[in-house]
Amino acid sequence: VYGRAIPKLTRFLPGETKVEAVRRELVDRDECLRQLGFPQVATTCAAKCGGSHQS
């Protein structure tokens, strides 16, 4: 907790799971984080994906 780095969160990418319930949970999590304003999710995804999701 104290003195530890913040965990890295990555955005769910379509096709990462074949289980529908898991897909829905991950999509809901991403939406919740977006609404709460967690910019590191988008930053991590952009770095991981090479920025291909940016318009």
Residues 11-45: pLDDT tens digits?
Answer: 888 899 999 999 999 999 999 988 888 766 555 55
Within 10 angstroms of residue 37's Cβ, the number of other Cβ atoms is 7
pTM for this prediction: 0.54
Distant-in-sequence contacts of 45-52, Cβ < 8 A, 24+ apart: 45/10, 45/11, 45/13, 48/10, 49/13
- Indicate whether 54 pLDDT > 80: no
